[in-house]
């Protein structure tokens, strides 16, 4: 029996086309605008650029700066340093944020211990129970511990296991058989060796997918560096701050060039790992 032709796909298709255009067009416009100089941009915002100038991009490295408090007064932080900060921040936080739930879920799944059900319970409660308005208390505590405005402080804050990704790793490890380890135990392998040389490689796809998501998230995050790490601005925070200063707010093409600089590393990562990102995060159930 042939299924009745419904108009749903067509309507949705049109909506999706409209939506996609609404994403692509501003994006392409921004790319073109980043090649215009400021006068041309003010006069002709909507046309294609008459000459393609890279001066905005070059200037983004020499003129785009934000003032950072330093020993009583200010120093200027430019793009290269912000890029370096972004890499350090993103890489460090990704390693912490990915490995912590991964290792914790591993021992909870594979080893018997009275703590296991409490750890699992903590994760569930943390996810379900909404707590609002922690920011002032957190800032106070961070300052009290002396890790405010320190990259190590941020790394420690990311060393958290009680989140949704714990559950992802939990179900991934649950579907792994312990038999792989038993062969190694007979050969005299210790727990550490089993974990690093046998179990971790088996979950490499999940670690990669979660790590990529985290990295993209941290690279794009301007909120946390703004609150906790003012002296080491990342590119995202730098761009945000710059766009709000008097000098930057009027210099729109350069801001858009800065936007592209923030975006391009992520775009490269996205191209390289596209298949692994979309569709590799399953929570329970084995994908055939």
Q: Which of the ranges 53-61, 71-79, 171-179, 189-197 carries the binding residues for another protein, by CB under 8 A?
A: 189-197
Q: How far is the CB of 127 from another protein (least distance, A)?
A: 6
Q: How far is the CB of 56 from another protein (least distance, A)?
A: 13
Q: Establish if 90 lies at the interface with another protein (CB under 8 A).
A: no
List binders of another protein among 26-45 (CB under 8 A).
Answer: 26-27, 29-30, 33, 41, 44-45
Please say which residue, 20 or 175, places its beta carbon nearer to another protein: 20
Tell me the helices (H) and strands (E) count for the chain, helix number first. Answer: 17, 2
Q: With beta carbons less than 8 A apart as the criterion, state whether 87 and 236 touch.
A: no
Q: Which of the ranges 64-72, 174-182, 202-210, 266-274 carries the binding residues for another protein, by CB under 8 A?
A: 266-274
Q: Establish if 100 lies at the interface with another protein (CB under 8 A).
A: yes
List binders of another protein among 126-155 (CB under 8 A).
Answer: 126-141, 145
Q: With beta carbons less than 8 A apart as the criterion, state whether 171 and 283 touch.
A: yes
Helix axes 252-272, 204-220, angle to 10 degrees: 180
Q: Establish if 91 lies at the interface with another protein (CB under 8 A).
A: no
**H helix or E strand, kind and range, residue 246:** helix 246-249
Number of residues that bind another protein (CB under 8 A): 95
Q: With beta carbons less than 8 A apart as the criterion, state whether 66 and 241 touch.
A: yes
Kindly give the residue spans of alpha helices, DSSP state H, lying in 63-146: 79-110, 115-128, 135-145
Across-strand partners of 77? Answer: 66
List binders of another protein among 60-79 (CB under 8 A).
Answer: none
Sign of the four-CA dihedral 227, 231, 235, 241: positive
Instruction: Name, in order, each residue with C-beta under 8 angstroms of 63's C-beta and a sequence gap of 6 or more.
Output: 254
Q: How far is the CB of 89 from another protein (least distance, A)?
A: 13
Q: Which of the ranges 54-62, 74-82, 114-122, 170-178 carries the binding residues for another protein, by CB under 8 A?
A: 114-122
């Amino acid at each position: 029996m042939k299924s009745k032709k419904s108009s749903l796909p067509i309507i949705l298709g049109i909506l999706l086309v409209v939506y996609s255009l609404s994403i692509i067009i501003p994006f392409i416009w921004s790319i073109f605008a980043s090649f215009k100089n400021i006068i041309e941009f003010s006069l002709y915002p909507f046309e294609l650029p008459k000459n393609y100038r890279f001066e905005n991009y070059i200037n983004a490295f020499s003129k785009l700066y934000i003032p950072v408090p330093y020993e009583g007064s200010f120093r200027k932080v430019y793009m290269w340093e912000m890029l370096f900060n972004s890499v350090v921040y993103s890489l460090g936080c990704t390693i912490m944020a990915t490995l912590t739930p991964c290792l914790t879920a591993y021992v909870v799944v594979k080893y018997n211990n009275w703590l296991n059900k409490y750890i699992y319970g903590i994760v569930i409660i943390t996810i379900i129970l909404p707590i609002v308005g922690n920011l002032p208390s957190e800032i106070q505590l961070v300052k009290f511990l002396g890790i405010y405005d320190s990259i190590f402080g941020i790394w420690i804050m990311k060393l958290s296991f009680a989140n949704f990704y714990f559950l992802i790793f939990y179900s991934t490890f649950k579907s792994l058989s312990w038999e792989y380890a038993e062969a190694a135990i007979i050969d005299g392998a210790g727990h550490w060796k089993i974990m690093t040389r046998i179990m971790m490689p088996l979950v490499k796809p999940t670690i990669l997918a979660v790590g990529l998501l985290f990295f993209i998230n941290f690279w794009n995050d301007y909120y946390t560096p703004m609150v906790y790490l003012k002296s080491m601005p990342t590119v995202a925070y730098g761009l945000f701050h710059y766009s709000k200063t008097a000098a930057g707010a009027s210099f729109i093409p350069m801001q858009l060039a800065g936007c592209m600089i923030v975006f391009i590393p992520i775009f490269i990562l996205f191209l390289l790992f596209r298949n692994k990102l979309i569709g590799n995060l399953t929570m329970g159930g084995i994908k055939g």
